Structure 1
Amino acid sequence: MTERDTAHDAGAVRLLCGGRPVARYEYRPDLPARESPRPHLHPVRTLGGTVVTELRPADHVHHLGVSVAVPDVSGTNFWGGRTFVRDRGPTELDNHGVQRHLRWLWRDEDGLAEELAWERDGRRLLTERRTIVAREVDDTCWALDLTTELVNVRDEELSIGSPATNGRPGAGYGGFFWRPPIGPRPPAVFTADAEGEEAVHGSVAPWLAMAADAWTLVFVGATEDTRRDPWFVRAAEYPGVGSAPAWERRLPLPPGRPVVRRVVTAVADGRLDRDAAARVADRLARLAPPDREEAPA
């Protein structure tokens, strides 16, 4: 049995880029219900081997490397931790959901596509098709290409919300979320025309970069809908970047109609400046979506 097969049997698979291991995808994690168990990527590494994700940090134990996490799907918490309740604030509720791996649609050494069930107490709310591919960029940089397609399988309309839509200004997080590790100093964050956490948090920009001393992440919205979503950014308290589809208003999920988001993230060794990040972002924005055949049923 190969190392790859062993990882698969253990509920995790490795992703390779150009033959080099760059990430581990836990598709059947063993986590407490309060953390809204869900597949996630950790560790994610630069080509030089620097880890650029954090798993279950003490400040937010429900932050799971790179994941798709939503605080409120019509009252169900797929983010983990407390739920923000209007006029009450963060509140412990027994409302946590789970994302359950159903099957592989295809799987190669550099990527995968899977079908997931978003459930609460065994009741399915959403079915997701998720595609993750490691793509070569250059000798010091690779890209994580993640697409999520959510479909409401209920007979009624559901919706995605956030603490902001429930009354907490500026807390519109939910969706694609990347939690990097805390370093000796806060990372720099910038877009093409703004710099600093206060300026970029909640902004709408085609790309956003977070740069630490040893690594840089460049996040690119790769569809029109994704580019319309504001960026959720933390740098001073802890590093975190998300693409937020329910920043000010709830996002409707009509029955049977797919909601698609795609974020391509450059993972680079070293600290890129704005010009270098812009060049990488331009290259990523022109990448065609992965096109692979599904495995036979």
Structure 2
Amino acid sequence: MWKTIVGFLCLGGGVSCAVGQTVDSGKPYSAVKGADELVLSNREGNPLVTYRYTVKPPPPGVDAAYGRAGYIHPLQTISGKVLTHIQPADHYHHYGLWNPWTHVEYKGKMYDLWNIGDKKGTVRFVEFAEIFQDTKHAGFEAVHDHVVFDDGRETVIMRENWRIAISQLDANRYAMDIRSTLVPVTDADVVLKEYRYAGLGFRATPEWTNKNSGVLTSTGKTRKDADGSLERWTIMSGQLGDSRGGVLFLSHPDNYNFPEPVRIWPVDANGGRGDQFFNFSPTKNMDWVLEAGKAYTLQYRLVVFDGSLSADEAEQLWQSFAH
């Protein structure tokens, strides 16, 4: 039987600490690096988070520009249900859980690191700064370069440290903390321009449609009216095989433009199927100027669950994350 205590999941530096961590006989979590992927598993050996650090080529016949690394897929529940999707035919540039920026101004020109098929930019894995595992949590810190393309030249304009840590909360839920630190690396500022989507994106399993999944936000909005709302948290959940599950997305109050605007696809997305997409998009309603040489941090927590999660539980989890 699982027991919960008041414990902490910390990404370092005294930030992003969760309460309610489970304890058992002291088995360690694991972080196993393979030839292409790094897999984070719980104490029982269940793979929960897979991070791809080598370039995943697109499907045969698709422009090679759509290949990329530096994303999470599959993101799984403790029972093994897959929540993410990559390289769907409707959006080949969608990669599970990933973190590019869309309208980027650099030295007076506009670039796009999200829609990589346009060949204006991309995000690349550089190296692992750290891989860690113990009885409390497991995770990694990956270094990403944000690159723009201009007349055959490539310029790294930002370096990002993407730190991920997992820790189980109870038999059906675990927390995944994300800390993204961005630093412009040249003598020029980087302006993340206002646009309807950019930043932390989540493309959900193709099993989820408008028939078997839903959305609930911290302000009480649903999929019908959530797009563009300003939120502390959002629950996305639905049918997963013969059961249900989902993800609670939490935004930290120290983030830029908090409470953050969200991007939720309309109910009739993708020809009426209603596939699910979620994005905390701090630049959805305003620009964000990143000054040269300065560091900027965004913090999120995902609570991945089997079964269901209520609004009251979501608010309690956000309070723990925020305070």
Which band: TM-score by shorter chain? 0.7 to 0.9
TM-score by length of 2: 0.75
Amino acid at match of 1:67: W
**Following the alignment from structure 1 to structure 2, what is the Cα–Cα distance between the partners of residues 72 and 122?**
17
1:111 aligns with 2:135: no
Residues 133-172 of structure 1: pairs in structure 2 closer than 5 A: 133-162=165-194, 164=195, 172=196
Change (3 A) 1:262 1:36: farther
- Letter of the 1:56 partner, please give it: Q
* Residue of structure 1 in register with 2:231 after alignment: 205
Q: Distance in 2 between matches of 1:36 and 1:98?
A: 10
- 1:243 alignment partner in structure 2: 280
SS of corresponding position for 1:224: coil
Q: Residues 235 and 140 (structure 1 numbering): CA distance in 2 closer, same or farther, change over 3 Å? A: farther
C-alpha deviation, 1:111, in angstroms: 0.3
Q: Is the 8 A contact 2:227 2:265 kept in 1?
A: yes
| Equivalent position of 1:99 in the other structure | 123
Distance 1:115 1:136, change over 3 A: same
Structure 2 residue 87 is the aligned partner of structure 1 residue 61: no
Contact 2:232 2:260 in 1 (8 A): no
Determine if the alignment matches structure 1 residue 10 to structure 2 residue 35.
Answer: yes
Match in the other structure for 1:80:
115
Please list the CA deviations of residues 70-93 of structure 1 after superposition, one character each: whole Å capped at 9, or x if unmatched.
1122222211256xxxxxxxxxx4
Q: Does residue 215 in structure 1 map to residue 241 in structure 2?
A: no
Q: Which residue of 2 aligns with 1:259?
A: 296
CA distance in 2, matches of 1:17, 1:201: 34
* 8 A Cα contact 1:201 1:232, kept in partner: yes
The structure with more helix, counted as a fraction of residues? 1
* Cα pair distance change 1:235/1:49, threshold 3 Å: farther
> Secondary structure of the residue that 1:232 maps to in structure 2?
strand
Structure-2 change in CA distance of 1:187 and 1:281 (3 Å): farther
Structure 1 residue matching 2:230: 3-state secondary structure = coil
Match of 1:180 in 2: 204
Quote how far apart the aligned CAs of 1:37 are: 2.3
The residue identity in structure 2 corresponding to 1:65 is G
Q: How big is each residue's C-alpha offset from its partner over 1:194-235, in whole Å with a ceiling of 9 and x where there is no partner?
A: 221243211112111112131121111124225332111126
Aligned match of 2:313:
276
Q: Would you say 1:48 and 2:79 are equivalent positions?
A: yes
Residues 25 and 42 of structure 1 are in contact (CA less than 8 Å); yes or no, is this contact kept in structure 2?
yes
Deviation of 1:36 after TM superposition, in Å, equals 6.7
**Structure 2 match to 1:130:** 162
Aligned counterpart for 1:24 among listed residues 47, 50, 53: 50
Task: Report the equivalent of 1:169.
Answer: none
When normalised by structure 1's length, the TM-score is: 0.81
Give the AA of the match of 2:174.
W
1:280 aligned counterpart, secondary structure: helix
Identity across the alignment (%): 21
C-alpha deviation, 1:29, in angstroms: 1.9
Moved more, 233-242 or 255-264: 233-242
Q: Please list every run of at least 4 consecutive aligned residues from structure 1 whose deviation after the TM superposition is greater than 6 angstroms.
A: none
5+ residue gaps, structure 2, are: 1-29, 58-62, 270-274
Counterpart of 2:77, as a letter, is: T
Equivalent pair of 1:14/1:23 in contact (CA under 8 Å): yes
